[in-house]
Amino acid sequence: MLLKLCMIPQWASCSKKMKFIFLIFLQATTLLFTNGSSLAENGTKSVQEEKATDICPIKFKASEKCDEGGEECPYQITLPPMIIQLPRQFQLIEQTLKEVEILKEMVNNLQKTCQDCKLQADDIQEIDSIEFLPPETDTPTDHSKLQENRIQELQNKVSRLSAGLKNAKTEIHSLQGRLEQMNFINMDNVENYIDSKVANLTFAVNSLDHKCSSNCPAEQSRPGRRHNGLYRIVPNIRNRSFEVYCDMESMGGGWTVIQIRQDGSTNFNRTWNEYKNGFGNLSGEFWLGNDKIHLLTKTKEMQLRIELEDLNGVREYAKYEQFYVANEFLKYRLSISGYSGTAGDALHFSKRYNHDQKFFTTPDRDNDRYSSGNCGEYYSSGWWFDACLAANLNGKYYHKKYRGVRNGIFWGTWPGLSDDILHGYRQPFKKVKMMIRPKVFMS
């Protein structure tokens, strides 16, 4: 080891006490120098080669003045630079120190980067919290809660969308399988199958045409043969079919009978609901029903034919080109016009007794124009009364002439009715038939 010590004392301002201390320090430094020189034998040559001015430049001076009564005096010692030779292994310390400095610099850079990231994250969080804030919300706690709720809601939506996509994928695979199966279907076979079914249906419709129709047929399946009887018809496809009695002989046939009186076997003194639904026997005396009459006259324009026969065998008829009965809501109002025939137009008898545009009345439902009572109850029947009547084909059936209230079957324009007034007897009728068919009818 090579040690250089240089000192330049200054004596002017030191006391005796401090001089004594200095002498002791001087001896210590001299001893240190001597021992250092013996430890550094290999370096004596280089020391001798230095200049005389640099051999022992030890500087020792007072930095301030010493106080005479003080125990201490501030001195400054400037030691020369020392060169210490160390083993080679100490080079690793230098390399280690350099690597430590490099690592320290890297750590500082990482810390700085982390701080920048943290500041940036705080700024983003603050912006996001402001975006999700509703009006009148100020506290950071509310911001964080709203953000958490929003994140949870988005997660739920993502989960639902994921489940929906899975289901859609499954359905797509299923549809693909079905399409693959459909590709094996021969479209020619399908067309042939449909054609056969249509042909069968057409044949069935044609074969049932004389049985299922909106009106009574004009011809039977056997050409040249016609007969009266019961047929099932379908006036409206939205309603059920029902049976009617068809007159296939009178005036070209095709008539749907809505009322028959012939022997008095059926009582016509009925309630509103009974006239609504119909009553009697289709093979005997009956009233078809106001609902069914409405359906028949609703689908097509109908004409009405009334045939009458009295006890004397006199037969007359009345035909109306327009006949319509409204629904129950309109109280089965009658619309009738276009008279022709031999029995007279009793339904348009006069202004006082005009049955056109009148509501249907029964003994338990008064819809007539008679203000003093119920015409249906007084005449024991259901009919389109005015106030009260010039015709009533649903009156009581008498087997002979009668006196009193004219509550029997009545047609006000019947020939010879004036003779009944002179004798005081009422003219009864033996047979009455009311029947309808389409206004445009091909026999």
> What is the rounded average pLDDT for all residues in the chain?
75
Is residue 289 within 8 A of residue 245, CB to CB? The reply is no
Torsion of CA 288, 291, 293, 298, to 10 degrees: -160
Q: Residue 211: what pLDDT?
A: 42
Alpha helix (H) residue ranges in 87-134: 91-131
Q: What is the pLDDT of residues 233-245, one digit of tens each?
A: 888 777 788 999 9
CB-CB contact of 400 with 371 (8 Å): no
Q: Show the CA angle centred on residue 73, arms to residues 69 and 77, nearest 5°.
A: 165
Residue 294 sits at the vertex; the CA angle it makes with 289 and 295, to the nearest 5 degrees, is 100
- Measure the CA–CA gap between 2 and 38, rounded to whole angstroms: 9
Given a contact cutoff of 8 angstroms between Cβ atoms, the answer to whether 299 and 320 are in contact is no
**pLDDT for the residue numbered 266:** 96
What is the band of 25 on the pLDDT scale with cuts at 50, 70, 90?
low
Helix (H, G, I), strand (E, B) or coil at 136: coil
Question: How many C-beta atoms lie closer than 10 Å to residue 282's C-beta?
Answer: 16
User: In b/e form, how buried is each residue of 142-152, taking b as 16+ CB within 10 angstroms?
Assistant: ebeebbeeeee
| Structure token digits, residue 372 | 């003093």
For residue 268, what pLDDT is reported?
A: 97
Q: Provide the phi-psi class of 264: left if phi over 0, else alpha when psi is between -120 and 50, else beta.
A: left
For 103-162, how does the pLDDT look when each residue is reduced to its tens digit (9 = 90+)? Answer: 777 777 776 776 666 666 555 555 544 444 444 444 555 656 777 787 878 778 777 777
Give the C-alpha separation, 108 to 103, whole Å. 9
Length of the chain counted residue by residue: 443
Contact residues for 283 (Cβ-Cβ < 8 A; gap 6+): 230, 245
- pLDDT above 70 coverage of the chain, percent: 58
Distance of CA 5 to the CA centre of its chain: 103
Digit-coded pLDDT (tens) for 294-311: 999 998 899 999 999 999
**Tokens (6 digits) for 81:** 């630079």
For residue 206, give the DSSP letter: H
Q: What is the pLDDT of residues 219-275, one digit of tens each?
A: 333 444 468 999 998 887 777 889 999 999 888 899 999 999 999 999 999 999 999
